[in-house]
Structure 1
């Protein structure tokens, strides 16, 4: 059976391990899978080939009626996270089938990992955009303000995309070409070299190279 090009996981945290050369490297620990196949999508019906998978089981009492009906086809168990992964041959998968970590990645693979960055709330231009700010001495009244944002007589308005204070974080971000350092099949644990977007317990999507 061909592998999917990805699997869902939960960021556990970061630590350090030693490689075969005795060098300490920082790694991100991810609990990845198993994921349940909930639905198959084909070019003939939906216009593209993909499988829908669920990750982290949810109690039946927490499901609403539409969710319960959808999950019933794959065995009745609900899931907190539902995502799609493109596949070339959706017909080889079965509804209710489990996709495990060992089927998707192995040690030494290069993977792309997508997550949601940490939320920082409402922030000013210095933290949000890296502005330098004004003088902090000699009676200056301009320290952390954005400064003038107008354009005089023409065009007489604030241009779109102007860097201003606002909500920071919770953005979708992908880090590419991370090396898989270790795969612990019995614990569904994946170790990748480097940092991964998001806070602890945040959902991440792990994509393998086609």
Structure 2
């Protein structure tokens, strides 16, 4: 069995059984993704992640016992190899804004396009990040005066090379390293090198924060 044959294992956590069923059905449509455990609260999500060690933990933000942000923090502390992706609605803006600083690998809308769910899970499983475009735009609005932030973002990206700006724009579009490499006819190692440089130049800690700047600067399309 090659690495490509190994399914992406996922823990799914949401306190609404019908939501879990819907998300599980979407994930089941991709033969390369396997839901290995489900939880109805944040505490169970942490314990099941420790037991099953999935590649991705897909977490509702609002859950009993432990909310999604706290569960994500615990998972990153106890099982750092598991990437966390937050499921959100537009009614949870403050949670999305808070989560940006906590290193979540992705943000997806419950009511979004099912293809985004699959793309997001695969992107973070490959070590990338995924920010649903509507969530990205909303976060930008929430983080202050967008008219003031756009020039600031453009100033921050002005020092990047043309290729770095191109890579940053694709990060903003939610592409993984492998997808960026294919799009630009580069090796994944070269893409990683560009990302290291981009993160340093922009003074950001992760791809999600870089994606926000890409949107603000108008690089993500």
Same fold (TM over 0.5): no
TM-score by length of 1: 0.22
TM-score by length of 2: 0.21
Flag the structure with larger Rg.
1
Relative contact order (C-alpha < 8 Å, sep 6+): which is higher?
A: 1
Looking at secondary structure, tell me which structure has more strand per residue.
Answer: 1
